[in-house]
Structure 1
């Protein structure tokens, strides 16, 4: 299992999530491993099906990283935040 820290999203003009941007972490301290990369939604769904996890990473007012929960399939061929909440949804991430 691999844990990715997701820090940006690409959204279509119709409001659909097209891709996520993130980096592989060590899974314990969430320290970064490797380089940031882009993931298409089908790649994310396939990785989740194979046991990988994608955690939403939001920069808080204090400059630390806060979690918005895990990215999970939405049942309609896209993804959503497991916990989410105000300001902590996939669509609240910075855009790229």
Structure 2
């Protein structure tokens, strides 16, 4: 199993979903994960494929105490049939829409 952290997002034109994400593989045994590669852009499809393959995809946020987890991203199916990602814990200030933009 691979562990990824997502640190920023590009929101689609409707302003609802992330369409691109900045992510990197990390070593989760190190405090909040040490990057094993340079952060790079991933599509929604990349994120969903990683989740389906059993990998952990976690959001991280910078805070006054350092980097904090926003929880994992999970696959979700919309009524329209579209597949997207949602927050495992939708806590205010720690949601996809709260990630920095790129």
SS in 1 for 2:86: strand
* 1:2-81 matched pairs, under 5 angstroms: 2-15=2-15, 16-29=17-30, 30-62=33-65, 64-76=66-78, 77-81=83-87
Larger radius of gyration: 2
Q: Which digits, 9 at most, give the CA deviation of each residue in 1:36-56, with x for residues without a partner? A: 111101111111101111111
SS in 2 for 1:94: coil
Which ranges in structure 1 are unaligned for 5 or more consecutive residues?
Answer: none
TM-score, with length taken from structure 2: 0.87
Matches of 1:12 and 1:47, distance apart in 2: 21
TM-score, with length taken from structure 1: 0.92
SS in 2 for 1:84: coil
Runs of 4+ in structure 1 deviating by more than 4 angstroms, as ranges, are none
What is the RMSD of the two structures over their aligned residues, measured on CA atoms? 1.0
For residue 94 of structure 1, report the CA deviation from its aligned partner: 0.2
For residue 4 of structure 1, report the CA deviation from its aligned partner: 0.7
SS in 2 for 1:42: helix
